[in-house]
Amino acid sequence: MILTVACNPDANCGEVIDKVFVDNQYILVIRFDKGSTSNQNEYSGELVGDIEVNEETFSSYEKGKNYCIA
C-alpha cells in the first residue's frame, strides 16, 4: 500500500489584517484562515499570528494583501 500525502502550498500564507510598529519591531498581523468547525464544534475561531519582518517587507505589504511565511 502506498500512502500519498498532499501538501497545501497556501498553508503558510494568509491575509495581512494589520501592521504594527512597536519597540523598533515591524509586525504584520496575519489571518491564516477564517475559522471552521467540526461536527463537535471543536474549533470555531480564526487562526491569527503576529509575524516580525524587516522594514522593507513591512513597507511592501498593505492590509488585504496575501503574505507567505517561507
Tens-digit pLDDT profile for residues 36-68: 445 554 545 577 889 999 999 999 999 999 999
Question: In terms of Cα–Cα distance, which of 49, 64, 37, 56 is closest to 11?
Answer: 49
Hey, which residues does 14 pair with through a beta bridge? 67
According to the model, what pLDDT value does residue 33 have?
75
| 8 Å CB contact between 10 and 30 | no
d(Cα 16, Cα 48) in Å, to the nearest integer?
10
d(Cα 66, Cα 70) in Å, to the nearest integer?
13
User: Helices (DSSP H) in 1-70: which residue ranges?
Assistant: 55-60
